[in-house]
A and B are shown apart, each in its own frame.
Chain A
Amino acid sequence: MISAVFENYHYSVVIILMMTGLYVVFSSRNLIKKLVGLSVFQTSVFLLYITIGKVAGGQPPILVEDGHGGGHGDSTDHHAETAMNLLAGGEAKVGGAQHSAEVLYSNPLPHVLILTAIVVGVATLAIGLALVVRIREVYGSIEEDVIADLDHRYNLEGTAD
């Protein structure tokens, strides 16, 4: 197991980043810092997904082959393909994510999932920040301790201006 950890140090680093974000969410009392921690956690999860979808010696999932109606010039194709063969060497020939020519692509599916997740993450972040601003309007503070204290002392449900 230890050797696996050292071989896959990408996963280890991503776990460390994730746990750092989670620690910020748990430990900090400031609501904005909490949201920043959530954002760090989220980005680390994105990194985990993209790391899993990476294929060694692969290239971005943009088809370099012509002949299927793609709008590529021939010269760029050739360039990319030769560069690809140089990079991949012989061992990458029977890749899983392989196109009909000998071009290896990384898995496009995690990319699509994470694209959606990034946009949804920003949407939820916007809602969270709006809630923080509203909390600040009512309580005058964004520190959890102060908010809990005011909540304990006052019944604020009749709040009006």
Chain B
Amino acid sequence: MASTILLDIGFMAMLVVVAFAIVRLRSLFAIVMLQGVYSLVSAAWFVSLDAVDVAFTEAAVGAGVSTVLMLAAMLLADRESRPVPLGRQIGPLLIVVFAGLAMFYAIGDMPAYGDAHSPANSYVGNDYLDRTAEEIHIPNVVTAVLASYRGYDTFGEAVVVFAAGLGVLLLLGLNGNAGRWRAKPNGVRISKQAAPAARKRPLPADAPQPAPAPAAASPTRRTKKPTAKTKKGGSS
């Protein structure tokens, strides 16, 4: 048992370190890769917490698929996140600290860790464990519940995944131009001032400030600037 506790503490420490690194870092590539690391470490902890099916799924889907998706989106979007001024971090920090304190206060009402008689572990889970062997005839209870007892849930999940795939297709299209296409802002200029949030920190004239970005992105940005300027002249 002691070895398991040490393992648990090691995984928890790694998770906390990785999460804090995600907060501090600004390179999107590093952030996305650390997200994959976070998923993988949590999958390892799932094994230690007896949730082998969840660990398998988390390692394959959480650490694999979502990391690939994020890398693809990052390549199409941007490589670096701009720093957030210190004054803008205080509000979120206060909210998070208060929410965290409220949850710490609630820990006192939680069942003890590993309590076999806690409400969550007492009722329907036992029924599944007792009946799966007779009713479903497979040894893996999680699979039995997923595919049979709660089969409609899984069907709904499949519908959600299908809808999400459809949504991504509708948003990005199939012609392979996703991320390379650039809109020209030919709308009407409705305000001469910058947005209130951006007034303190002057942005360069009209167009978004080109971040230290890959070469592929810069020419399209350069074409964007003049159109914005002509619009400004035309409407005013």
The answer to whether B116 and A98 touch across the interface, beta carbons within 8 angstroms, is yes
The answer to whether A156 and B49 touch across the interface, beta carbons within 8 angstroms, is no
The answer to whether A46 and B209 touch across the interface, beta carbons within 8 angstroms, is no
The contact size tier of chain A is 35 or more
Using Cβ atoms and an 8 Å threshold, which residues of chain B touch A131? Answer: 171
Using Cβ atoms and an 8 Å threshold, which residues of chain B touch A37? Answer: 22
Using Cβ atoms and an 8 Å threshold, which residues of chain A touch B224? Answer: 140
Bound together, the chains give a CA A55 to CA B120 distance in angstroms of: 10
The answer to whether A24 and B23 touch across the interface, beta carbons within 8 angstroms, is yes
Using Cβ atoms and an 8 Å threshold, which residues of chain B touch A87? Answer: 1
Bound together, the chains give a CA A143 to CA B173 distance in angstroms of: 23
Give A112's nearest chain B residue, CB to CB: B145
Question: Among A18, A30, A60, which residue has its beta carbon within 8 angstroms of that of B52?
Answer: A60
A120-146 Cβ-contact flags toward B at 8 Å (1 or 0)? 111111110111111011111111011
In the complex, whether B226 has a CB less than 8 A from a CB of chain A is no
Bound together, the chains give a CA A141 to CA B165 distance in angstroms of: 24
Question: Among A59, A118, A127, A130, which residue has its beta carbon within 8 angstroms of that of B62?
Answer: A118
Using Cβ atoms and an 8 Å threshold, which residues of chain B touch A54? Answer: 49-51, 113-114
Bound together, the chains give a CA A156 to CA B188 distance in angstroms of: 7
Question: Among A19, A31, A120, which residue has its beta carbon within 8 angstroms of that of B99?
Answer: A19
The answer to whether B57 and A146 touch across the interface, beta carbons within 8 angstroms, is no
Question: Among A27, A97, A129, A143, which residue has its beta carbon within 8 angstroms of that of B70?
Answer: A129
Chain A positions near chain B (C-beta within 8 angstroms): 1, 4-5, 7-13, 15-24, 26-33, 35-37, 39-40, 43, 46-47, 50-65, 68-72, 87, 92, 94-100, 104-112, 114-116, 118-127, 129-134, 136-143, 145-146, 148-161
25 contacts between A and B (CB under 8 A): A1-B105, A12-B104, A16-B100, A30-B28, A36-B34, A36-B70, A53-B49, A54-B51, A55-B114, A55-B116, A63-B132, A68-B137, A69-B137, A87-B1, A96-B116, A97-B116, A108-B141, A109-B124, A130-B167, A133-B178, A141-B211, A145-B195, A148-B198, A155-B190, A158-B187
